[in-house]
Structure 1
Amino acid sequence: MNELASLVEQTAARLAARHVGVVVAGLAGGALEIHGAGRTGPGGGVPGAHTLFDIGSVTKVFTSLVLARLALDGAVGLDEPLAEVLHGPAAVPVRNGRPITLRHLATHTSGLPRLPRGMALRALLRPNQPDPYAHCTTERILSGLARTRLHSAPGRSFRYSNLGAGLLGMALAHRAGTGYDELVAREVCAPLGLADTCLRPGTEQSERLARGHAPGGRPVPSWDLAALPGMGGLRSTAADLAVLLRAQLAAEREPDAPLAPAILLTRETRHRVNPFAWAHLGWLGHRLHAQQGRHLQLWHNGGTGGFSSFVAFDPEKQVGVVVLANTRRSVDPAGTALLRRLQIGSGAARS
């Protein structure tokens, strides 16, 4: 077994001790290894490269790629106000005379709160509600948006907002005149050949769908996210996300590769969060301290009622990781540890 395969398998085994099921992928030196452990659900088998998981907020990476694709085509502008893209059905708040733009939504600098208006109270009053976003219809979201007060002027400061990302997906679909699922399929999945990234799995895909679990191991239903799928509604596989990472790693070296112009556009935007971290369109980034090698890490994680995910890469070292689990417990530490092992030049890609 080569070193990359060994590291991936060891990571999966450690995670399986605390999660119902997990799939880990590692990319290094052009090589790819994917390993699963645990089970897909009650009575299920071992998950693998083509098992579908809810990927939660990793969806935001896809939403921002759609934004970049449409911007390059001239269908939208990164600095176009959200109110203009939604085109009439919503009153969008402003602060200090500054409107919310699509760039603000993708970089979490809109000033919007994390959740839709009134949702935090409902979640507090109904902690066992299986899908806290079930009632987030378009009408309710836009009605709440009109009554929302921004925490800061758009573009001024970073404040992570699921609502903002959900509105971005809604606005892009509205401008394109299609559903969010169809838009992602057209702008991202088709160019990259992603076969299993979708909102609602088909019949055959449903047979490969992992079942979500609460931290104690109790099976729980998936979240639907209603009118806000762009913030976290996609399902995908380790195989598909590895293809996405390959595209991210190849973008600077192969500018004519599928999606390369859009990928590079997402990285051109860089809003500073603190001295060590920043936000791109979709991805979050930071550079490690000098004592840790100053390695670059671009990443996003995700979590829903029964799933957790982590996707990260280093375009300088040409390494990346994917971790998908069907338990609502963070996989970030394990994913980050694996990425660092690959970054420090352990020879993981050599047999």
Structure 2
Amino acid sequence: MNELACLVQQTADRLAGRHVGAVVAGLAGDHVEIRGAGRTGPGGGIPGPHTLFDIGSVTKVFTSLVLARLALDGAVRLDEPLAEVLTGASGGPAVVPARGPQPITLRHLATHTSGLPRLPRGMLAQSLLSPNKPDPYAGCTTERVLDGLARTRLRTAPGRGFRYSNLGAGLLGLALAQRSGVGYEELVAREVCAPLGLVDTCVRSDEEQSARLAHGHTPGGRPVPHWSFGAVPGMGGLRSTAADLVVFLRAQLAAGREPEAPLSAAIALTRETRHRVNPFAWTHLGWLGHRLHTQQGGHLQIWHNGGTGGFRSFVAFDPEKRVGAVVLANTRRSVDPAGTALLRGLQNGFATTG
């Protein structure tokens, strides 16, 4: 087993000690290793490259890439007001809250600078009272989400500051789907999956994919059902595999270096937008970014994590060192430390040139 494979396998084995199952992928230049450990669920086997997991908020990166694709095609503008894109239940423009002269734009939604709260109106209290509710988003119909939006007060003026918002990303996915005249899943398939050749990134699994779908679990190991995300899957409704996410990361690493690579222009656009969060961290369209202190190597890390009722995910890369990491687990327990350690190991020991 080569050194990269050993590092990836060790990461998967450590995760399996605290999770029901996990799949880990490491990319270094042209080399890729994917390893799994644990099990997919009760009576299941070892998860592998083609095991499907809920990826939670990593979905937001796909939603923002769709935004970039549509912006380059002229179907939307990054700074187009949400109120001009989002359709209300009556067929007219949706009622979008405001604070100050600057309206909420699509760029604000993708960079978490809209001022919107984290969750749709009415969900926070529900989530606190029922933290193990099987699917807290089950009641998020378009009508209910838009009705709550009309009664929402912004925490800050749009564009003024970073405030992570699942609601904002969900509204972005809904608005883009409405503007395109197709469902969110079909839109992602058309704008991202088809050009990249992703075969298992979806909202709803077909019969064959369902046979490869891992079962989610609580931290105590109890099986829990999947979340649906209702009318706002753009915030966290996608499922994917380590194999697909490796292809996705390869496209991220190719952007800027290979202008003719699939989606290169759209990926570059997602990273051209930058909103400073603090001296070391910022947001792109969808992605979060930071640069380590020089005492830690000064490496660039672009990343996103995710979680649903029974799953956790972490996807990160360094375009300067051409390395990336994917961690998927079917237990509601963070995988961020393992994913971050893997990425730093790749940055420090597997950097490639050329």
SS where residue 223 of structure 2 aligns?
A: coil
Given candidates 185, 189, 195, the residue that maps to 2:189 is: 185
Residue 4 of structure 1: aligned partner: 4
Question: After the TM superposition, which of the residue ranges 121-130 and 261-270 deviates more from structure 2?
Answer: 121-130
Instruction: Check conservation: 1:27, 1:319, Cα contact below 8 A.
Output: yes
- The 1-side partners of 2:12 and 2:197 are apart by 26
1:82 has 2:82 as partner:
yes
Equivalent residue, structure 2, for 1:14: 14
Tell me, yes or no, if structure 1 residue 239 matches structure 2 residue 243. Answer: yes
CA distance in 1, matches of 2:184, 2:148: 21
Alignment check: 8 A CA contact 2:322 2:351 kept: no
Question: Where does residue 36 of structure 1 map in the other structure?
Answer: 36
2:64 maps to which residue? 64
**1:88-110 superposed Cα distances (whole Å, 9 cap, x missing partner):** 34100111121100000000000
Q: 2:280 aligns with which of 276, 280, 289?
A: 276
After superposition, what is the alpha-carbon deviation per residue over 1:239-288, rounded to whole angstroms, capped at 9, x for unaligned?
A: 00000000000111101110000000000000000010000000000000
Alignment map for 1:32-181 (pairs within 5 Å): 32-87=32-87, 88-181=92-185
Counterpart secondary structure, 2:48: coil
What is the alpha-carbon distance in structure 2 between the residues aligned to residue 339 and residue 316 of structure 1?
13
Tell me the equivalent position of 1:343: 347
Which residue in 2 is equivalent to 1:334? 338
- Structure 1 distance, partners of 2:51, 2:223, is 17
**1:200-254 Cα distance to aligned partner (Å, 9 max, x none):** 0000000000000000000000000001100000000000000000000011110
Q: Which amino acid aligns with 1:330?
A: S
Kindly state the Cα deviation for residue 2 of structure 1 after the two structures are TM-superposed: 1.0
Whole-Å Cα distance in 1 between the matches of residues 163 and 131 of structure 2? 24
CA displacement at 1:123 relative to structure 2: 1.7
Sequence identity percentage:
81
The aligned counterpart of 1:199 is 203
Q: Which residue of 2 aligns with 1:217?
A: 221
The 5-angstrom pairing of residues 304-319 of structure 1 reads: 304-319=308-323
Q: Secondary structure at the match of 2:13?
A: helix
The residue type paired with residue 84 of structure 1 is E
1:348 Cα offset (Å): 7.8
TM-score normalised by the chain length of structure 1: 0.98
Asked whether 1:251 is paired with 2:262, we answer no
| Residue-by-residue CA offset, 1:318-342 (whole Å, 9 max, x unaligned) | 0000000000000000000000001
Deviation at 1:126, TM superposition (A): 2.7
For 1:125 and 1:52, how far apart are their aligned partners in 2? Answer: 30
Secondary structure of residue in 2 paired with 1:65: helix
1:302: which partner in 2? 306
Q: CA RMSD in A?
A: 0.9
Contact kept in structure 1, 2:52 and 2:240, CA below 8 Å: yes
Structure 1 residues 69-128: Cα deviation after superposition (integer angstroms, max 9, x where no partner)? 000000000000000001434100111121100000000000000001111111223333
Structure 2's unaligned 5+ residue stretches are none
Cα distance change of structure 1 residues 221 and 347 upon mapping to structure 2, 3 Å threshold:
same
Structure 1 window deviating more from structure 2 (123-132 vs 10-19): it is 123-132
Asked whether the equivalents of residues 134 and 227 of structure 2 are also in contact (C-alpha less than 8 Å), the reply is yes
Whole-Å separation in 1 of the counterparts to 2:168 and 2:86: 13
Kindly provide the amino acid, as one letter, of the partner of residue 68 in structure 2: A
Give the Cα separation in 2 of the matches to 1:33 and 1:271: 33
Q: Does the Cα contact within 8 Å between 1:3 and 1:348 map onto a contact in 2?
A: no
| TM superposition score normalised by structure 2 | 0.97
Indicate conservation of the 8 Å contact 2:120/2:148, yes or no: yes
CA distance in 2, matches of 1:347, 1:65: 28
Partner-residue secondary structure (3-state), 1:305: coil
User: In structure 1, which of residues 286, 292, 298 is the aligned counterpart of residue 290 of structure 2?
Assistant: 286
SS at match of 2:224: coil
Inter-partner Cα distance in structure 2 for 1:86 and 1:159: 21
- How far, CA to CA, are the matches of 1:96 and 1:89 in structure 2? 20
2:351 and 2:255 map into 1 onto residues whose CA distance is 22
Letter in 1 for 2:339: G
* SS of alignment partner, residue 86 of structure 1: coil
Stretches (4+) displaced over 2 A: 124-128
